[in-house]
């Protein structure tokens, strides 16, 4: 069984789209998507520096566009399952057929702009918590008035909330845990993003959706979503809801996934899976970062996808 994954914010790197623009039609596609997203995706993916592509309003449509651009070079119809991390869920929803590519890009543009605006309302942030007992980590996060915004598995939980509370949390971390402040604009996936959720809901209400053509996982609880309208509701609600990537990885294991392709810019989700799904039965993984990685990705799909022999 083959899973195709779409990464989220933080996976971007300066110039990562440059080699993709050498493919026929790629630049024209990005120019079209730029008009929909309201940002220059070609510039952001090729010439922009790390600081510019860290901007939430720019990063979110850039990541969805990158995933869809890479996926167009693959036989996605042979994928059994798709999933995305945070904004990557918009890319996954498009790959599952719930949204058109144009709708996913448009919603990513709105999502990014509105979340950036929400971040500007008050000083908030996020910190990664590495190690420690997960239950104790979550309890300590909540004791400080913070939120466990991301539960990524592999010993990684992200705390989010007011900057003052984050500083107090870092000064008294959970047992055997390290707290690392993240360079993000604000407290994503918490109630602080409520204005963004409201704004995204208004636009998403006009989107055309269909039911998924393949298994589609939700960050809300790691479950398989079978109705397009339900997935759209979850995509909107995800702005303020925690990302449960740990539960998504659990579902990958339960479904018997044997092969994983992580779309560009790849590496983050592959790393989490390698640390979480170890030993016998661990899936074979291909990280798709440049067109040079396409042969390996196509080979993996041929061996593990719907048309392959490994189930």
Which two structure tokens, joined as six digits, stand for 50?
């790390």
- Three-state SS across 51-75? CHHHCHHHHHHHHHHHHHHHHCCCC
> Confidence band (pLDDT; 50, 70, 90) for 309?
very low
Edge-to-edge strands, sheet with 215-216: 215-216, 81-84, 2-6, 259-262, 284-287
State pTM to two decimals: 0.95
Instruction: Give the number of C-alpha atoms closer than 13 A to the C-alpha of residue 263, restricted to the C-beta side.
Output: 32
Lowest pLDDT segment from 101-115, 266-280, 297-311:
297-311
Q: Are 178 and 55 in contact (CB under 8 A)?
A: no
Cis peptide before 265 (omega within 30 of 0): yes
Neighbours of 281 (CB within 10 A): 10
Nearest to 148 by CA among 164, 167, 175, 166: 166
Band of residue 307 on the pLDDT scale cut at 50, 70, 90: low
Q: What is the pLDDT of residue 281?
A: 85
With b for 16 or more beta-carbon neighbours within 10 A and e for fewer, the 15-40 pattern comes to ebbebbbeeeebbebbeebbebbebb
- pLDDT of 156 > 50? The answer is yes
CA gap 34, 52 in Å, rounded: 16
Q: Is the pLDDT of residue 311 over 90?
A: no
Count of other CB atoms within 10 angstroms of residue 264 = 29
Domain 2-119+190-304 annotated CATH 3.40.50.300: no
Q: What pLDDT was estimated at residue 127?
A: 97
For 12-42, how does the pLDDT look when each residue is reduced to its tens digit (9 = 90+)? Answer: 999 999 999 999 999 999 999 999 999 999 9
Q: What is the pLDDT of residues 82-130, one digit of tens each?
A: 999 999 999 999 999 999 999 999 999 999 999 999 999 999 999 999 9
Q: Is 100 a catalytic residue?
A: no
Q: What pLDDT sits at residue 310? A: 42
From residue 268, alpha-carbon distances to 77, 152, 206, 287 in Å are 24, 11, 32, 9
- Length of the chain (residues): 311
Say which of 144, 189, 218, 304 is annotated catalytic: 189
User: What's the pLDDT band for 183 if we cut at 50, 70, 90?
Assistant: confident
Structure tokens at 165: 């509370």
Q: Which CATH architecture has domain 124-181?
A: 2-Layer Sandwich (3.30)
For the cut 80, the answer to whether the pLDDT of residue 55 exceeds it is yes
pLDDT higher than 70, residue 308: no
Q: What is the pLDDT of residue 144?
A: 97
Spans of all domains in the chain: 2-119+190-304, 124-181
- pLDDT tens-place string over residues 206-258: 999 999 999 999 999 999 999 999 999 999 999 999 999 999 999 999 999 99
Q: What is the pLDDT of residue 306?
A: 86
Q: Which of 34, 86, 127, 218 is catalytic?
A: 86
């Amino acid at each position: 069984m083959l899973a195709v994954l779409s990464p989220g914010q933080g996976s971007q790197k300066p110039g990562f789209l440059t080699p993709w623009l050498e493919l026929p039609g790629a630049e024209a596609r990005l120019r079209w998507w730029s008009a929909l997203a309201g940002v220059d995706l070609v510039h952001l993916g090729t010439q922009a520096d790390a600081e510019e592509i860290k901007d939430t309003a720019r990063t979110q449509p850039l990541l969805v566009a990158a995933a869809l651009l890479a996926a167009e070079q693959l036989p996605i119809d042979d994928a059994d399952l798709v999933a995305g991390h945070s904004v990557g869920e918009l890319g996954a929803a498009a790959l599952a057929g719930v949204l058109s590519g144009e709708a996913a890009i448009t919603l990513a543009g709105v999502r990014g702009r509105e979340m950036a605006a929400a971040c500007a309302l008050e000083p908030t942030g996020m910190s990664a918590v590495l190690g420690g007992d997960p239950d104790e980590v979550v309890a300590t996060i909540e004791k400080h008035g913070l939120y466990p915004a991301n539960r990524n598995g592999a010993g990684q939980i992200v705390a989010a909330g007011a900057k003052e509370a984050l500083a107090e949390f870092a000064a008294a971390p959970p047992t055997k845990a390290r707290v690392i402040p993240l360079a993000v604009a604000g407290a994503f996936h918490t109630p602080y993003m409520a204005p963004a959720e409201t704004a995204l809901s208004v636009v998403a209400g006009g989107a055309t959706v269909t039911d998924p053509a393949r298994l589609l996982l939700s960050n809300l609880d790691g479950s398989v979503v079978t109705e397009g309208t339900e997935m759209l509701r979850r995509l909107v609600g995800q702005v303020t809801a925690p990302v449960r990537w740990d539960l998504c990885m659990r579902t990958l294991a339960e479904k018997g996934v044997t092969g994983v392709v992580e779309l560009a810019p790849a590496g983050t989700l592959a790393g989490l899976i390698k640390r979480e799904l170890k030993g016998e039965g661990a899936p074979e993984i291909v990280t798709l970062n440049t067109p040079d990685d396409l042969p390996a990705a196509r080979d993996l799909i041929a061996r593990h996808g719907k048309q392959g022999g490994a189930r």
